[in-house]
Structures are given as C-alpha cells and as structure tokens.
Structure 1
Amino acid sequence: MTVNVALKQQMIERGLTQDELARRMNDALEEITGRPGEVSDRTVRNLLSGKTLRPIGRTCAALERVFGCPVKELGLSPPRSAVPPEDPVLRRTFITATTGTTAAPFVAASRQVGVSDVERLQVGLNRLTALDNHRGGHLALEKAALAGAQQALDLQQYCVSERVRQRLFTIAADYTSRAAWSCIDDRRPDQAQHYLDRSMIYAGMAQDSTAQFSAWNQIAMLARQYRRHTDAVAAGQAAQGLRIARRDPLFASLAHARIAIGQSNRNDKQAALRSLGHAQDALTKAAPAPRPGWIDFYGSAELFAITAIVQERLGMSAEAEASSHRALAIIPERFRRNRALSTVRLALAQLHQGDLDLACATVTDVFDIMQGVEIPGRIRTELSGFQRNVLDCAPKSAHVADLIHRLRPNGS
C-alpha cells in the first residue's frame, strides 16, 4: 500500500483533518440521500493509506460533493459500472456527476476555498502594509483594504474546513484593521472607530488573539487622538491580557509601551516610566518568530520613538531628544512615515530646550523624507503642533511663515 498523495494534498489545501472529512462526507450523504451517512475516520484512514483504492458509490459521491471534483483527481478509482450505488437517488447523483451531464456537484468546485486562497489574500495584505509603511494612510489604501476584507468574507461562505474559515475571518479582521489604521494615520478617527468595531467582531469569530491585539493596539492610538487617555490605558491593558501577549514578549512589550503613552498623557510620571521599563524588559526577551506583517514596525527603533513621546509628555525634553536620535539611527529605511514622525518629535524636543534654529532646521527634513507623496494627516498634525510651539516662543520668526507655506495642500 502507498499513501494516497492526491487525497492528502486536497485535505491539506482545504485544511481538513480526518475526523472533519468524515463529518463532511456524512453531511454530504445526508444532502444527497436524505439520510445521515455512516462514514468514519477509519474509512478516511483507509482512503489515505491506499488500503481503499476503489470506494463504493456512496463514498465516491460523498467525496465528490465535499471536494467538488471527480474521485480520479483524488487518486481513487470510481466504482465499476457493474456495481451500482446502493440508492437510486445516490445512483443518479453519482452517474450524472461522473459523466458530466449536470454540473450540480461541481458548481461549488470553482468556489470552494482552501489554504492557497488564504495565502493569496495574505500576500495582498502584506503589500498594503508595505505601502502604508512607505507612504502612510490614505484613501486608496483604505479602499483596497476594505476590498480585501470583503473577499475574505465572501470566500468563507464556501469553506469545507472550519480551520480555513477561521483563518479567513482573521484575514478579514486584519484587512479591516488596515483600513482603520489608514484612517487613524489620516486623522479620520470616526471612520476608524467604525472599522475597528467590525475588525473586533471578525477577530472574535476567528478566535484569534493576535487579530484582537491588533484592534486593541489601534483602539489605544485612537483614544489618544480623542484625548481619552484613560481609555487609551485601558485599551493597552486589554491587549496586555490577551493570550498572544502572554505567550510572545514582543506583543507584551508593545502593550506596555501603549500603556506608557496613555499614562504620560495623564501626567502619571512614575507609572509611565515603569511601563516603559516593562516594555524594554519584555523586548529583550523577544526572539525571532513567525509573526503577522503588521507588527514588523515594532522593535527597538519604535520603542525608542515611543520613549521619546513619553519623555516629551513628561517634560523630559533632553531625554526625549536623545531617544529620538537613537530611534532615527536604527529605523529601517522602508518605514519612511515612522522616520518622518520621529524627526518631528526630535525637532519638538530641541525646540523645548530653546534651540529654535536647530529645531526648525530639523523639521524641514520631514518634507524631504516624505517627498513625492501627500503628507499623511498624522504627520501634518504633528507639524501643526510644532508650528504652534514656534509661535508661542518666537511669534515673529521667519520659520513660522515657511512652515505655514509648506503645510498648505500644494505647498510642498
């Protein structure tokens, strides 16, 4: 006996275990005959091991209904014509399926989905993540992310495997989170909130704590935009309590960092610095591992950038300047938007130490970094905040007029 490679590959593609295939075959037989099937996991084992090469008519019909293809494509031989299926209804279904006189059992074939469909959608999601890192949030990215989420939701209607269905819900959650993030980065918080509500639903249906973490991470950032700093801390704590954060120190570190930002915005200095310490400790324990592409931004560089935000909020401008320099020294080139944000924060730390000329020279680098694309709303908001600070300390400075000009829609 030799292993039935064709059947095994089809099961892998659709994410089916032996027990689950047996259940699906019994469901198919009930649909065909009106009576529950009696396929067992032993039947499936015999098919996989090669012990059964020519299954009976009922088994063949069930396999073809589940996989949407002739049994020959599953490495099996159909019953000999001299051996009719046991049931007249089943006989008609089996004969018409194998002769091609009706497409009924095969209609689902072009619509059944499996692991390769999930992987295809994941590739598209990774491309959107790379685009966001380079350009920042914008309307076209938001629309593309929503289209990807809808594809995943449409495909899960035709799954034969619960595992693949859950993975598709994860993909839908991740795409919807990407749309939400585009809105957060573009400073459209109300629309972002709508998408995050949907993303959390999909993540729950997927039973995926990583997708839930992504949503809570963005909810913390959104709360910051709304200036609901206690909510931001609570969102970070919710992320911290998820299974993925307990299992993977990288996620735990990011949760601590989000909590630190919220605490600093509440001017809770000791708690914020303590959370930063926890974030650093957790990050040192994080080992390389397969992770979703959206969290690639987080590492030592991003933690330095977040540390600078916390220190600046707490009035520690010299320390914030040093942290921003450390972040900029190691931010990967592909994270152009993050580099621009850290540059604004570096300029603000310099300004708060009284070095107006140096700060304004630093902030002009942002326009060079983002050259060729429209500056995302989040960066524009940071630049506007820098401009207000310059007005407060030097209202007649020529730097103010230059910033006003550059921040106009067609000014750069």
Structure 2
Amino acid sequence: MRRRRFITATAAATVALALNIDETPVDGRLSMSDVDRARQRIDRLDAHFSAIGGEPLLTVASAYLDRLTTAADRCTYGPRVEQALHTVIASLCSSAGWAADDAGDLDAAHLWRTTALQRAILGTSHQAQARAWSDLAIHARRGGHDREALRISQTALTSREARQDPRYAALIQSRLAISHARTGNRPAAARALLAAQASYDRIDPTEPAPRWLNFLTAAEISGLAAITHQAMGRLADAETATTQALTLLEPRLRRSRTYYAVQLAELQLARGNTAGARTTAATIDAAHIGSRAITSRLATVHRTLATA
C-alpha cells in the first residue's frame, strides 16, 4: 500500500510539473490566449488519464480548478473570454469527475460532474454539455440507478451534439445499450448496439476527435458491447467482444487495457474457465494504473482464484 501511495504521489507531482498550472494568471486581464493555454493543459491532463488512470490526477485537477476559478473571480475579461473560460472549467470539472471516480469517491465525482454541466451551460458550449450529460449517465449506472442512466442517455441522444457528431452518438448509443440490458429490455439493447456501430462507421477518420473522446476507438465500442452482452447474460459473446477490445486497443490507452483485461478475467471466472482467468490475471500489471475501481476488481479476481 505504501508503495502504491508513493507511485501515486510521484505521478501527481510529475504531471503537475509538466502542466505548469502555476503559470495561469490569477490577476490582471485574461485573454483568449490564456484560455487556450488552459485548454491545452486540460487536454494533456486527459491524455495522462488514459495512460495512468485518474487517482494520481485528482489532486492536480483539484488544484488547477482552484487556480482557474480564482482567475475567473479576480481577473477582468470580455464576454467572449468569459464564455470560453466557463467552457474550459467545465472540461476540467469533467476530468476531475473521472479522477474522483477512479479514486473511489463517487460523491466527489457527482459534485464535479454536476458542476461541469452548470459551467457548460454558462459557457453555452453544446460539446461541454454533451460531455457532462454523458458522464452523469454513467455515474447514475455505477450508482445502481439504471433507469436514471437510461433516461439521461435517451435525452442526450436528442441533443444537437448527438445529431452532428457520430463519435458522441456512438458513445451514447453504447451506454444506452448497457442501460437497456440492465433494465431487462433486450430488444432495445440489441437495437442500441446496432445503432452504436452504425454511428461509429460514419466517423470521418480524417476529422480529429475532441481530446475527451480520444478513448472512443473500435476497441472501446467492442468493450462496451461486451458489457451489454454480460448484462444480458450472454457471457460467451461478452468474452469474445472483450477479447476483441484487447486486440484492438492502442498502446497509449493503458488504463483501458487494464480495465478490459480485468473484465476478461471476470468473465472467464463466470464461465468456469479458471485456468484462462489465471492466465489473464497473471498478465495484468496494475501497479502503475491509478484506479481504485479497477484494482479492487482485480483484487477480487485474485482472491477468487486463490480459493479455486
């Protein structure tokens, strides 16, 4: 445990140093250049999340939120900068929500996500609002509120962002499929899975994705489909889709690789394949992934294997 805390603290210090968050002014007049630099720092923070998980980043994200909100309170700026500042704060709140999620603090995660939505509305950013709603939907599901998650996803699908951005539509349809499956509506879950794949197929590969949606690759679509199959009791299909996700995952998405490797081991155990689960678990090195949610699931797998 001490070694893990040391790794987490070291990673946080390294990220904070790399982002140079202290360079953001907290007095004087803010320009769009200042806001653009803040946005770039948040993009880099999101990239670190994909690589090492969110727990080491929680203190960094919280500190930078304090810095930006202080800047918003003390600095002067015009209406255009004000809107952009609300939007970048919304983005950072979303990142902090995921960091809190990985740290196992669901109450803090919910607070950051609702704040993200409020800031996104103040910034009149459809993209930031879409991200906030997406995060609130998954938060509801993780809290066991499947019907609430279903309603949020259904509402999110009516948004302009869902109509215009096939990446976002694919993500929401995938999460909608999980909610349908968990509430017992298998036909609707199957339709949502097909819609998610159709939306993903419409993505123009030459169009760069927003940083926060960089994780949404073909691997993620397969991984989310696996969760839907698992919720419907189709464990063989879930295992196949999880294996496909691991095959397709890019090296930079180390957190996702750990997440889906743990999911594969869980599915193998559920199907009675103890030898396969043991082999899978032996390949997982979660020492440098800061996510209590993932590592606690891996610990459960190891305890189950120890008594098998």
Q: Tell me how far apart the structure 1 counterparts of residues 300 and 229 of structure 2 sit (CA, whole Å).
A: 17
| Greater relative contact order (CA < 8 Å, ≥ 6 in sequence) | 2
Residue 187 in structure 1 maps to residue 104 in structure 2: yes
Alignment check: 8 A CA contact 1:263 1:269 kept: yes
Q: Tell me how far apart the structure 2 counterparts of residues 228 and 186 of structure 1 sit (CA, whole Å).
A: 20
Corresponding residue number in structure 2 for 1:376: 291
Q: Tell me how far apart the structure 2 counterparts of residues 329 and 163 of structure 1 sit (CA, whole Å).
A: 44
Greater mean deviation of Cα atoms: 210-219 or 289-298: 289-298
Given the alignment, which residue of 207, 210, 220 partners 1:302?
Answer: 220
Residue 350 in structure 1 maps to residue 281 in structure 2: no
Corresponding residue number in structure 2 for 1:121: 38
Residue 152 in structure 1 maps to residue 63 in structure 2: no
Corresponding residue number in structure 2 for 1:200: 117
* Equivalent position amino acid for 2:141 in 1: R
CA deviations over 1:259-315 (Å, ceiling 9, x no partner): 111112223211111111110001111114344311100121101000111111111
CA displacement at 1:385 relative to structure 2: 5.2
Cα RMSD over matched residues? 2.1
TM-score normalised per structure 2: 0.84
Residue 332 in structure 1 maps to residue 250 in structure 2: yes
Q: Tell me how far apart the structure 2 counterparts of residues 387 and 263 of structure 1 sit (CA, whole Å).
A: 31
Corresponding residue number in structure 2 for 1:133: 50
Residue 173 in structure 1 maps to residue 90 in structure 2: yes
Q: Tell me how far apart the structure 2 counterparts of residues 144 and 350 of structure 1 sit (CA, whole Å).
A: 37
Corresponding residue number in structure 2 for 1:267: 184
CA displacement at 1:156 relative to structure 2: 4.0
Corresponding residue number in structure 1 for 2:127: 210
Q: Tell me how far apart the structure 2 counterparts of residues 146 and 240 of structure 1 sit (CA, whole Å).
A: 30
Identity of aligned residues (%): 29
CA displacement at 1:250 relative to structure 2: 0.8
CA displacement at 1:212 relative to structure 2: 1.1
Give 3-state SS (helix, strand or coil) of 1:111's partner: coil
CA displacement at 1:320 relative to structure 2: 1.2
Give 3-state SS (helix, strand or coil) of 2:29's partner: coil
Corresponding residue number in structure 1 for 2:278: 360
Alignment check: 8 A CA contact 1:149 1:173 kept: no
CA displacement at 1:148 relative to structure 2: 2.5
Larger radius of gyration: 1
Give 3-state SS (helix, strand or coil) of 2:214's partner: helix
Are residues 167 and 144 of structure 1, via their aligned partners in 2, closer, same or farther at CA, if it must alter by over 3 Å?
Answer: same
Residue 279 in structure 1 maps to residue 185 in structure 2: no
TM-score normalised per structure 1: 0.64
Give 3-state SS (helix, strand or coil) of 2:272's partner: coil
CA displacement at 1:401 relative to structure 2: 5.6
* Equivalent position amino acid for 2:62 in 1: L
Corresponding residue number in structure 2 for 1:321: 239
Greater mean deviation of Cα atoms: 300-309 or 351-360: 351-360
